[in-house]
Structure 1
Amino acid sequence: MWGKIIAGVIRLVMSFPRDENSQTIERKCIEFEDFFRFTLTLRSFDKQYSCIYLARLAALKEIVIERANSKWGQVHVLQLTQLATEDMFDNRCILIGTLYKHQELKPSILRELSEELQIAASPPSSYYYSDKDYVYLEDEMMRVKLTGNYVNTKDLVTGLVCAVLGHAMQNGSFWVEDYCFPGCCPKVSTSNLTTKINGKLLLVSGLDFVNYAQSMAFKLLVEYMTGTAGNRETQEEEASIVRVIIAGNSIRSSAEIHMSKGHARNKAQDLMVANETSIAVNRFDSFLNQIVQCCCVTLMPGQYDPTCHSMPQQPIHPCMLPKSSRYKSLHGATNPWIGRIGNRIVSGSSGQPIEDIMKVVGISKVCPLIWLERTLDWRNYAPTAPDTLPAYPYFDKDPFVMQECPDIYFVSNMEKYESKLYKGQEGQTVRLICVPEFSKTHTAILVDLQSLDTRPISFGGIS
């Protein structure tokens, strides 16, 4: 039953080798619910992408106005069209809208066409930021350029709904004194839930079965998750794992390289890549088959997995995993994903939204955890979609707008493990986690659902 809600379906009995003191250890079970927030029910590509921004602004506008009034007092909130009146010049006011960041280095269809037609083009860049970037604020009717010493383009990305405090200029721009974003979602009370917070969550990403399937770390990982490794203390910890989240790039962790010349050579390379992917999928299916017999697994796709490319990515189709998809303990999830494990709300992505933000701002030295935290303040899982991050053209809603405050919020396929306990202005507590690529770090992350403490577990560097 792929994609259904599962509650307490796995019980693993583990024991030591037979002796007089042999005792069994039963794996804990806990309720699980998928919110299905990012599941596509109707796939239609005949709408304009501007509808996403209009839906995003409509969802957050009143929230931003309320926060702006609380922060700045009773300053007049104006429509952008009202700035044209001459008596508004030099008078402080508040504008509400969506930010648009103009960047010359962003991906361009014209640039792609010039490359295909073998016209000279500027070399590609790993990031989109330059000193020539500038920012607009737009609403349903028009846009205005933002200026002033407070406008730091390195801290802003396209798609953010916000309020700006300042005044109109004679040249048609708007001088900004301060910003106000929607802020983190309020915490939902869990007092009505009877399920006790008990057990642990294991996070792993970037398995990359194309290149690293023969690593000893994979075998140790299987033994750990199936409860066949270690002494009694270790097995008790293994039995406390109520769910494993495999968060993307299980088949590949990097893009395929295609040659720009030679049709026959391209065709041969495509065939080789297809064969590699097919073999890797079979290996991954066998790997999963061992785990789902002993533990509940939530499987998210990643940027380089065989599924749709646009966000939100839909679950890997069960027909690709004939062995493991027979078990109800395997749950195919979207990317991003949000659901409930016990009374804990868990959400996260396979890495693309945070990686794209880092490209847009062009700051490589700032750790991804900072941008993960800022998405809570922006109240959006993927603010740069669909500008620089491919996304489905939603019409009447924007599912990337956060509707609840998660207890655990992760981003996977990062270079290294990092974690932080976020404290919101209204008492929200969120455990932020950067999950590293397992194929390169041989590290998984164990999260205690009761205390929200995290601990990296290393499976060595033996290949």
Structure 2
Amino acid sequence: MEGDESREYNRKIVSFKDFGRFKLSEKKYDDNSLNIYTARLNDLREDTLRRAKLKWTGYSYVEVSHLALEDPAKSYILIGTLYKDQKLKPSLMRDLSKELQLEAQPNKNYASTDDKLFLEDETLRIRLVGNHANIQDVVTGLVCAILGHELENGTFWVEDWCFPGYCPKPCVSSGSLVENAKILLVSGLDLVNNTDQLSLDLFSEWITGMAGCIDAQEEEAVIARVIIAGNTVRGSGKIYHHKGYHETKSYDQLKIKEDITAMHKLDAFLSNILHCCCVVLMPGEFDPTCNYSMPQQPFHPCTLQKSARFKSIHGATNPWIGDIGGRVVAGSCGGTIVDIMKIAGLSQLSPLEWLERTLIWRHYAPTGPDTFPIYPFFKNDPFVMKECPDIYFAGNMDKYDTKLITADEGQMVRLICIPKFSETKTAVLVNLQDLTTQPISFGDG
């Protein structure tokens, strides 16, 4: 028994690679040669057309600008970017009303029955009509192929539509290279507002092997990496109505003090874990980083003075994609999914179902830059998916949810909604080898 009590387990070490897809080498805002929608359409047009011709054999592809020259009695394939005209979307007038200190009504749902749908390419936009396509199932920014015909009033009657679909399977399968290890996903620590120190201490002690029996410690040693998926410092952006400059300035100073205190708390929390486990730290929508728009860049090392000294910490972007133990892992802090649900607010789809839709749309942040702030890329759109991930997650969701799906060419993808830790006290354990998941609770949330 004494031998069992003194037994030591070595932490599992697996291969790791950050694809660096969302790292910004330079910030440039003065290039207007190509907008991001054109870049997105150029990136996805060929694959979308190939998929459309496989689905609709015998139909010709026509550019939107050339449609008027074709026979209106025949059906054609159009390819472009969808745009939803929504009166409830944020507007400049609402922003001005806030600036003028007038009370603006918050709106968490931009959808209404009056929404209109358009398809546009580099030169022209045409309105889509018909009952064959549910406007609430799509959002602005999607590259889409439409089958239909033009009506006398200049609108386009939709008979069917299709999207780029899942990324193709890689030529060389990495399945045989997958290592026997696990990763732990957690998000929404919200250290500014989370006063439950016990759950954080339990999390820290559990991942470092300081809690649990010997069998539990053997299980914990298999966890090769922890991914902290955003909103670690602050979990929400509360809305306040201020009447004057001094009140606003006082609030800003208080917010800065809260963030600094929480950063010190995060630094101490991470330094305990980093002694024995590797961590991928992603920023979130409300975390104090150098940029608010996506892709958010990693926390600056000077903000985490203790933790930054460890080689076991990896500052990641939001969203992030990389290889862990032979599995392609990708995800975000969840802001993109929340924004999609605002645009399609009348739809009854769950966050997990919207997460699956982004795989079919082949885009990590389709609603940007229309309603979701993203950096103005010009030459290409880095949010277009180039690989089909094995593990695909969204952080800061209201509850834990997961699903294993099979893509077009047999690829298995594990979808995961990571719940807010500050509210649920729950993290998600993922087995890299068989893609099984297990929620781990550190309290009664």
**Same fold by TM-score, threshold 0.5 exceeded?**
yes
Going from structure 1 to structure 2, the CA distance change for 1:192 and 1:372 (only over 3 Å counts) comes to: closer
Deviation of the 1:111 alpha carbon = 2.1
Going from structure 1 to structure 2, the CA distance change for 1:279 and 1:119 (only over 3 Å counts) comes to: closer
Asked if the contact 1:412–1:436 (Cα under 8 Å) also holds between the matched residues in 2, the reply is yes
- In structure 2, what is the Cα distance between the partners aligned to 1:175 and 1:460? 54
Of 131, 145, 151, which residue of structure 2 is paired with 1:169? Answer: 151
Deviation of the 1:428 alpha carbon = 1.5
Count of residue pairs the alignment pairs up: 444
Alignment of 1:342-381 (within 5 A): 342-363=325-346, 365-381=348-364
1:243 paired with 2:196, answer no
Asked if the contact 2:192–2:259 (Cα under 8 Å) also holds between the matched residues in 1, the reply is yes
Partner SS for 1:198: coil
Asked if the contact 2:166–2:407 (Cα under 8 Å) also holds between the matched residues in 1, the reply is yes
Specify the alignment match of 1:89 in structure 2. 72
One-letter amino acid of the structure 2 residue matched with residue 76 of structure 1: S
Task: Give CA-to-partner distance per residue, 1:237-293, whole Å, 9 cap, x none.
Answer: 110000000000000101143433122222222111111111010001000000111
Of 41, 63, 66, which residue of structure 2 is paired with 1:79? Answer: 63
Specify the alignment match of 2:30 in structure 1. 46
- In structure 1, what is the Cα distance between the partners aligned to 2:31 and 2:141? 18
Specify the alignment match of 2:407 in structure 1. 424
Asked if the contact 1:213–1:283 (Cα under 8 Å) also holds between the matched residues in 2, the reply is no
Deviation of the 1:194 alpha carbon = 7.6
Specify the alignment match of 1:64 in structure 2. 48
Specify the alignment match of 1:285 in structure 2. 267
Alignment of 1:4-15 (within 5 A): none
1:385 paired with 2:368, answer yes
- In structure 1, what is the Cα distance between the partners aligned to 2:103 and 2:178? 62
- In structure 2, what is the Cα distance between the partners aligned to 1:242 and 1:120? 49
Of 274, 283, 286, which residue of structure 2 is paired with 1:304? Answer: 286
- In structure 1, what is the Cα distance between the partners aligned to 2:14 and 2:298? 22
Deviation of the 1:195 alpha carbon = 4.4
1:36 paired with 2:36, answer no
Deviation of the 1:420 alpha carbon = 0.1
Specify the alignment match of 1:405 in structure 2. 388
Query: Is the deviation greater in 271-280 or in 356-365?
Result: 356-365
Going from structure 1 to structure 2, the CA distance change for 1:135 and 1:58 (only over 3 Å counts) comes to: same
One-letter amino acid of the structure 1 residue matched with residue 369 of structure 2: P
Which sections of structure 2, spanning at least 5 residues, go unmatched?
A: none
Asked if the contact 1:80–1:142 (Cα under 8 Å) also holds between the matched residues in 2, the reply is yes
Deviation of the 1:150 alpha carbon = 1.6
Asked if the contact 1:217–1:461 (Cα under 8 Å) also holds between the matched residues in 2, the reply is no
- In structure 2, what is the Cα distance between the partners aligned to 1:263 and 1:360? 33
Specify the alignment match of 1:8 in structure 2. none
Of 164, 177, 190, which residue of structure 2 is paired with 1:182? Answer: 164
Partner SS for 1:346: strand
Deviation of the 1:421 alpha carbon = 0.3
Asked if the contact 2:15–2:325 (Cα under 8 Å) also holds between the matched residues in 1, the reply is yes
Provide the alpha-carbon RMSD of the alignment.
Answer: 1.8
Alignment of 1:148-227 (within 5 A): 148-191=130-173, 195-227=177-209
Partner SS for 1:384: coil
Partner SS for 1:177: strand
One-letter amino acid of the structure 2 residue matched with residue 342 of structure 1: G
Of 251, 273, 276, which residue of structure 1 is paired with 2:255? Answer: 273
Task: Give CA-to-partner distance per residue, 1:7-42, whole Å, 9 cap, x none.
Answer: xxxxxxxxx9x6576321111100100000000011
One-letter amino acid of the structure 2 residue matched with residue 421 of structure 1: L
Asked if the contact 1:303–1:309 (Cα under 8 Å) also holds between the matched residues in 2, the reply is yes
Partner SS for 1:426: coil
Partner SS for 2:114: coil
Specify the alignment match of 2:99 in structure 1. 116
Going from structure 1 to structure 2, the CA distance change for 1:459 and 1:154 (only over 3 Å counts) comes to: same
Query: Is the deviation greater in 356-365 or in 367-376?
Result: 356-365
Asked if the contact 1:197–1:342 (Cα under 8 Å) also holds between the matched residues in 2, the reply is yes
Deviation of the 1:364 alpha carbon = 6.8
- In structure 1, what is the Cα distance between the partners aligned to 2:96 and 2:30? 23
Partner SS for 1:77: coil
State the TM-score, normalizing by the size of structure 2. Answer: 0.96
Asked if the contact 2:4–2:214 (Cα under 8 Å) also holds between the matched residues in 1, the reply is no
- In structure 2, what is the Cα distance between the partners aligned to 1:241 and 1:143? 51
One-letter amino acid of the structure 2 residue matched with residue 45 of structure 1: Y
1:437 paired with 2:394, answer no
Specify the alignment match of 1:334 in structure 2. 317
Deviation of the 1:147 alpha carbon = 0.5
Task: Give CA-to-partner distance per residue, 1:275-315, whole Å, 9 cap, x none.
Answer: 11110100010000001111000000001100111011110
- In structure 2, what is the Cα distance between the partners aligned to 1:350 and 1:21? 39
- In structure 1, what is the Cα distance between the partners aligned to 2:8 and 2:441? 26
Partner SS for 1:88: coil
- In structure 2, what is the Cα distance between the partners aligned to 1:116 and 1:267? 14
- In structure 1, what is the Cα distance between the partners aligned to 2:161 and 2:403? 25
- In structure 2, what is the Cα distance between the partners aligned to 1:293 and 1:49? 48
Asked if the contact 1:168–1:174 (Cα under 8 Å) also holds between the matched residues in 2, the reply is yes
Specify the alignment match of 2:377 in structure 1. 394
- In structure 1, what is the Cα distance between the partners aligned to 2:240 and 2:336? 25
- In structure 1, what is the Cα distance between the partners aligned to 2:174 and 2:161? 37
Q: What fraction of aligned residue pairs are identical, expressed as a percent? A: 54
- In structure 1, what is the Cα distance between the partners aligned to 2:99 and 2:17? 46
- In structure 2, what is the Cα distance between the partners aligned to 1:361 and 1:49? 31
Partner SS for 1:235: helix
